[in-house]
Amino acid sequence: MAEVQVNSKTGIDGNSYTAAISNDKLDNDDFLKLMLEELKMQDPTKPMDSQRMLDSQMQMSNIETNLSLVKSMEALTTSYSQSALSNAANVIGKNIEDGNINQQGINKAYTVRSVINENGTVTVKGQEILYLEQQLKDADDKLVNYNVAGEILDENGNPTGKKVTLTNPGQIALSEGKPIILDENNDPIADSGYLLAGGSMPVYSDQLSDIPFSNITKIF
């Protein structure tokens, strides 16, 4: 309750009236205290309208109720946002789909890198998986890298002069179950020693996409 001082003053008409000085916002209890002081000091020949006083009290009560409701809704919204953010954080590092289709006619997939909450809206930031790249190994059973053109790269990422034939990005062409490897003149190399490693690696877009958490249709 706010601290209220009620002073009695006399007007130029000779009647007493009250003056309230508050160091905070008045609440319903303060209003009732002021109204009681006003009743004690009113002119008996000119009584206050009791209905008007009751209406004023009801308005004050409604204001307090509305303020309390607003605070409760704000607390509920904050709690919901924190819960949604906590749930969304569980998908970091996982793959998701949002129902959109890429140029190849298949569902777009992303790997979630981070999650943010902006103005109550939870959004995940994901790297789109462009395609899956079949892994290749050499005669020493070591994994080797190749670029989108099929050029086989050394440990420093430089072309070796050899190429692996691709049917689609990341999809290695085979002959008798073995990768088709070409030399610098694009001639097939017999018994190149290269084999499929038996796994695939995702190739990502170099940009992050913002996806509303509510738009996620699949987590895998």
DSSP, residue by residue, 76-125: HHHHHHHHHHHHHHTTTTSEEEEEEE-TTSSEEEEEEEEEEEETTEEEEE
pLDDT in tens, the chain (220 residues): 444 444 445 544 454 444 444 444 556 676 667 667 766 776 666 655 556 666 666 776 676 676 667 776 665 555 555 666 677 788 899 999 999 998 888 899 999 999 988 877 889 999 999 999 999 999 999 999 999 999 999 999 999 999 999 999 999 999 999 999 999 999 999 999 999 998 899 999 999 999 998 899 999 9
Residue of 83, 78, 115, 109 whose CA lies nearest to 95: 109
Q: Please tell me the distance from the alpha carbon of residue 177 to that of residue 143, in angstroms, as a whole number.
A: 18
**How do the domains of the chain map onto residue ranges?**
4-87, 95-219
